[in-house]
Amino acid sequence: MNIVTSVLLLYGTEEEAFWLLVALCERMLPDYYNTRVVGALVDQGVFEDLTRAFLPQLYEHMQELGVITTISLSWFLTLFLSVMPFDSAVLLVDCFFYEGIKVIFQVALAVLHDNMDALLACSDEGEAMTILGSMVVRWLVMPWDAAACFD
């Protein structure tokens, strides 16, 4: 939560950041930031289902490696702020406040899709985590169409 809060504080007053954080925690991401992160774990289940539906071959391989929840939980908890360049991260947070959690699901699926070949070649969890960590940053540094997140 501190990563998200720090970005909110960069663009608003303390009071504005506080109320954005209240909206985030109570309405947009309920139960994400409590001691058991139940909301985030529920969304991890949804993300796994989406991965199974849209990327079935990758889903099976990632299940064998046991890496989907490990890497995507940090993506969801920090709204990708911990793994992407600042300019892209702020744009993604803007899209998130406009469209909601579906933006995070879309970006996560796009990252997996764009790195599918490299991930299918992985033989262990560590290798997949390394690939995803470096690929997310590289993928998100490339210019992307901000208007696409509002379609």
- pLDDT beyond 60 at 144: no
Domains delineated in the chain: 37-150 (1.10.472.80)
| The model scores a pTM over 0.85 | no
Interatomic CA distance for residues 130 and 135, integer angstroms: 8
Please give the pLDDT value at position 134: 67
Instruction: For the chain, give the percent of residues with pLDDT over 70.
Output: 88
Please give the pLDDT value at position 59: 93
Per-residue pLDDT tens over the stretch 19-50: 999 999 999 999 999 888 899 999 999 999 99
Q: Which two tokens stand for residue 97?
A: 């406040």
Q: Is 80 exposed, middle or buried (0-12, 13-18, 19+ CB in 10 A)?
A: buried
Instruction: For the chain, give the percent of residues with pLDDT over 90.
Output: 48
Query: SS3 of 3, please?
Result: helix
Q: Which two tokens stand for residue 52?
A: 């199974």
